[in-house]
Amino acid sequence: MDVERARRLRDKERGLHRPHALAPQSGTRKHREIRFNKLRLWQVDHAKALLESLENLEVAPGVMPNSLSVWYEVTDYTMEGLETALVNQGFHLENTLYCKMIRALVYFCEDTQLRNMSQPERLIKKSHEVYSKAWEHHPHGDHDDTPPELRRD
């Protein structure tokens, strides 16, 4: 049995689902992976202890030795907020081009989801009525002011 299979079995028993951190995740519950600088592996244990003290945040060892897996509600935390807090505490994250691109994508997706959640829900079925009423009251070229009795047939 390899290490990844053992982790999957452990997480299944604990009730933690571990999809790939970059796989599309519907809903507000997110699973992400925070990667640290490979030259400073001691940071992983310190960051794990720090993150475990936060409420509504689950932390487990990551797939790679220099990473941590985190589960959170996007309404409570964001990946950008967690990583910024870690950097402010003196931790060094992996800075490869791949990680920077993934980070930017995750930041954008979570920010967009939060903005969409704060917007009022549109009533799609009623929107047609709203536009129809506005059209009726708006002067346009299809309107004829001639009384019906004076019009030609």
* pLDDT tens across the length of the chain (153 residues): 776 677 667 766 766 655 666 666 777 888 899 999 988 888 899 999 999 999 999 999 988 889 999 999 999 999 999 999 999 999 999 999 999 999 999 999 999 999 988 887 766 666 667 777 777 777 666 667 778 788 776
Q: Rg of the chain over CA atoms, in angstroms?
A: 26
Contact 73, 129 (CB under 8 A): no
Contact 35, 93 (CB under 8 A): yes
Give the chain's domains with CATH numbers.
3-118 (3.30.70.100)
How far apart CA 108 and CA 36 sit, in angstroms, is 21
How far apart CA 135 and CA 139 sit, in angstroms, is 8
